[in-house]
A and B are shown apart, each in its own frame.
Chain A
Amino acid sequence: MTDDKTEKNELFDIFLPIFLEEVSDQIKGMFDTLNLIKNNPNDEKNVDSLFRYFHTLKGNSALCTLENLSSFTHSLEDIVGLFRDKKISYSQSWYDLIYDGIYLIQEAIFKIKEDFYSDKKFNYNDFKNKINEFINSNTASSDTVETFHTKEEFVFEQQEIEDYFLKYLTYCAYHATITIVDAETTFADLKMAAIVNRLQSYNISVLGTIPEINILGSDKYSYDIYKNELIILFEHTENANKSFEKVIDMNKTSIKSHDLSVVNLNQFLSGKRSFIKHSNLMFQIVVVSINSKKYAVVCKKIIKIIPPDNIRYFQYSNYNLGFVRYLDIAVPVISINSNNLDKILLFDTVSGIIGLFFDKIDYFQESSYNDLVLSLESNDFIYNYNGEDIKVLFIDNLRQL
C-alpha cells in the first residue's frame, strides 16, 4: 500500500507528466472528431470515438486528482452519450456546445500546466448550467413504466419438482443466502451476477435466484428494494456443494456473510401459494423510514425510486406537497417529516401515481387487510413489523392529508 508522500510523488513524477504529455493530442483528437461528425452526423464510429475521448480524459484526470476537470468532462461525455444513444439528434447547438466544452477543457489544461491546483478554482458552473438547460430542452422524458415485482418467491409447478426428482433422486435443494458487503451499494447486483455466473460455469443447475437473474444489472434492480441479499436455489449434489465453496472463496472480497442450508422443493409448490397470488384484496405494504420514524405505506405497486437528478420540476405548496415530472405527467409528491429530499418513492394507488420522500425502505411485501389492526386509542390503522407497531398511511387521495 502507499502512504500519502509516495502517492504525491507518484502523482507529480509519473502520472501528471504522462497526463500532460497525452492531453494535447486528446484535445486535438476531440476537435478533429467533432468536425468529422459535423460533416457526417450519421457515422457512428466517429461518435463512439468522441465519446471515448471524453471517457478517457475523465478517467485520466480523476487519476491525477483533477476532480473538477473530471466531473466537467463527464458532463460532456453524457451529452455525447445521449447523441450516441439517439436520445437527442444532431443540431448546430449540440455541435456548438461540445465545441465550446472542448475549448474550455483546453483552457483549463493550460492553467493546470501553470498551476496544478488551479483545477480546484476553475469555474465550470456556468457551462454546466448550459449543459443542463440543453439536456432539459432537448430530451423528452424517456422513462417507461416499469413496475417492480413484489420481492419474488420461489414457485415451482408439480411437474418441475418431479423432473428435478428424476434427475437428482431427491426433493432437496441447496438454499444459499449471500450478503454482499455494504460498500457495494451501486454494484451489489453485478457482484451477485458474478457469483451466479461463476456457479453456473461449474455446470451447476441453478433453479432460481432472488433477485431474479434477469433483474441483476438491469434498470429493474434497485438497492433500496432488494438490498444486498442474494438467494440462490441450486442442485443438491456433492459437486454443487464443493463448487459453491469455491465460488464463495473467490468472491470473498465482495461477500459479507453467507449461509447454506437444505430445503425441500415441495415447500415451493405453486398451488400452496395460489390463494395469495390471485386474491383481489392484495396490496403491498412498504415499510419506509422517514426521518428515523417508520411508516407502513399501503399501495398497489411500487413503480420506481427516483434519484434527485430525475426531478425535472418541483415546488412546495403550503401543505408540503410538490410535483415531480414522471412520464410527462405531474405526479404529486408528499413530504412527511422528511429532511432528506434525495429520494422519492413512486407508487401506484387506486387514484393514480403518488410520490413520497423517504430515507430508506426497510421492508416490502404483499399483504392483506388481515395484517392491519385498527388502534382504538389513536384511530389509526397499525401494521406490526418485527414486533413494532407502525402507523399505516393510506395515501391514495390527497384530500386525506
Chain B
Amino acid sequence: MAGILIVDDANIMREKLKLLLKRNGYNICGEACNVKEAVEVYKKTRPSLVTMDISMPDIDGIKGVQLLKQIDPNAKIVMVSAMDQKEMILLALKSGALNFIVKPFKEQTVLSIISDVLKSD
C-alpha cells in the first residue's frame, strides 16, 4: 500500500504532519529531511503523494519538485510553505507541484487539500 512521503528539514514539522495524517487514516510510507534523501525514499516507496517543504538546506523544495518529476512525471506533490514565500510557491507550481499548504495551517485545510490531490489522476 503506497502512502505519503513527508519531506521537511524540521523534525517537529514532520512529526506534526505525520501525527495528523496517521490519525486520519493515511499511511506514512517515508520521511526525509532533505531532497537527496527524498529522492532515495521516493524511488524505493513510490508514494501516492509527497508533502514538500520549500525552504531546506543545500537543495530547496523547488528543485526537489523538479527532481521528483524527472523520476516520475505523475508524482503528486503538495508544497508546505510559510506565509511570506509566495514567489517560491509560484515557482513550485510552475515546476509541477499540484497545490500548497501555508504554515501555520489548519488541520482541516491540510486534510482537504491532500484528499483533493489524491483523487486527481
Residues on A lying within 8 angstroms of B by beta carbon are 1-2, 10, 14-15, 18-19, 22, 49, 52, 55-56, 58-60, 62-64, 186-187, 190, 193-194, 197-198, 201, 216-217, 246, 249-254
The reply on B15 being an interface residue by CB < 8 A is yes
B113 to A, closest residue via Cβ: A253
A190 and B89 contact, CB distance less than 8 A: yes
The contact of B94 among A49, A59, A197, A246, by CB within 8 Å, is: A197
* B86 CB to nearest chain A CB (Å): 6
On whether A62 and B10 interact (CB within 8 A), knowing A10-B19, A217-B90, A250-B119, the answer reads: no
Which of A62, A194, A251 counts the most B-chain CB atoms under 10 A from its CB? A194
A201 to B, closest residue via Cβ: B96
On whether A198 and B119 interact (CB within 8 A), knowing A56-B9, A187-B86, the answer reads: no
Which of A22, A56, A186, A193 counts the most B-chain CB atoms under 10 A from its CB? A56
Report how far A19 CA is from B12 CA in the complex, Å: 7
Interface residues of B in 102-121 (CB under 8 A from A): 102-104, 107-109, 112-113, 115-117, 119-121
Interface residues of B in 61-89 (CB under 8 A from A): 82-83, 86-87, 89
The reply on B44 being an interface residue by CB < 8 A is no
9 extra interface residue pairs, beta carbon distance < 8 Å, beyond A52-B56, A60-B12? A2-B20, A15-B16, A55-B82, A60-B10, A63-B12, A63-B103, A197-B94, A246-B121, A251-B116
B98 and A198 contact, CB distance less than 8 A: yes
Q: 5 A-B residue contacts at CB 8 Å?
A: A55-B82, A63-B13, A190-B89, A193-B90, A249-B119
Report how far A99 CA is from B10 CA in the complex, Å: 23
* A212 CB to nearest chain B CB (Å): 14
On whether A63 and B104 interact (CB within 8 A), knowing A10-B19, A18-B15, the answer reads: yes
Report how far A253 CA is from B115 CA in the complex, Å: 9
A52 and B57 contact, CB distance less than 8 A: yes
* B76 CB to nearest chain A CB (Å): 9
A10 to B, closest residue via Cβ: B19
Residues on B lying within 8 angstroms of A by beta carbon are 9-13, 15-16, 19-20, 23-24, 55-57, 82-83, 86-87, 89-90, 93-94, 96, 98-100, 102-104, 107-109, 112-113, 115-117, 119-121
A22 and B104 contact, CB distance less than 8 A: no
Query: By DSSP majority rule, is chain A's interface helix, strand, loop, or mixed?
Result: helix
Chain B residues near A14 (CB-CB < 8 A): 15, 19
Report how far A253 CA is from B108 CA in the complex, Å: 10
B103 and A59 contact, CB distance less than 8 A: yes
B57 and A49 contact, CB distance less than 8 A: yes
On whether A249 and B11 interact (CB within 8 A), knowing A186-B83, A193-B93, the answer reads: no
B11 and A22 contact, CB distance less than 8 A: yes
Report how far A250 CA is from B103 CA in the complex, Å: 21
Chain B residues near A18 (CB-CB < 8 A): 11-12, 15
* B119 CB to nearest chain A CB (Å): 6
Chain A residues near B87 (CB-CB < 8 A): 217
Report how far A59 CA is from B15 CA in the complex, Å: 13
